[in-house]
């Protein structure tokens, strides 16, 4: 399991490059350098280790989710694409 110094927060000091929040600010996602993916549950940000691993360590540069946060995409370096199905992020090698 991934661990970092709690002082640096959920991103562990990694630069975040894109973020999505629902209209109420109760749910959110952020992506960034080294393929980090963070999830916000309305209270705190946490690293999503499975999604972060799916990026293969490639920088994630942009993301989009629908208004309800039920489906989305994140894209990054070397053509890496992640797809969110409302439950989990997975790498999409067909994109």
Percent of the chain with pLDDT over 90: 83
Residue 34 clears pLDDT 50, i.e. is over it = yes
Tens digit of each residue's pLDDT (9 = 90 or more) over 42-68: 999 999 999 999 999 999 999 999 999
Angstrom distance (rounded) from CA 94 to CA 61: 19
Residues in the chain: 95
List, in sequence order, every beta strand (DSSP E) within the chain: 16-21, 28-32, 37-40, 45-47, 60-65, 72-76, 81-84, 89-91
- Spatial contact of 72 and 29, defined as CB atoms under 8 Å apart: yes
* pLDDT at res. 1: 41
The backbone region for 75, taken as left when phi is positive above 0, alpha when psi lies in -120 to 50, beta otherwise, is: beta
Angstrom distance (rounded) from CA 57 to CA 38: 14
Integer Rg of the chain from CA: 12
pTM of the model: 0.86
């Amino acid at each position: 399991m991934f661990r970092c110094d709690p002082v640096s927060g959920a991103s562990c000091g990694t630069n975040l490059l894109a973020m999505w929040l629902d209209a109420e600010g109760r749910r959110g996602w952020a992506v960034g350098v080294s393929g980090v993916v963070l999830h916000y549950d309305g209270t705190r940000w946490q690293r999503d280790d499975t999604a972060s691993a799916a990026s293969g360590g490639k920088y994630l540069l942009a993301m989009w989710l629908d208004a309800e946060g039920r489906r989305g995409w994140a894209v990054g370096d070397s053509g890496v694409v992640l797809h969110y199905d409302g439950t989990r992020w997975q790498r999409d090698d067909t994109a």
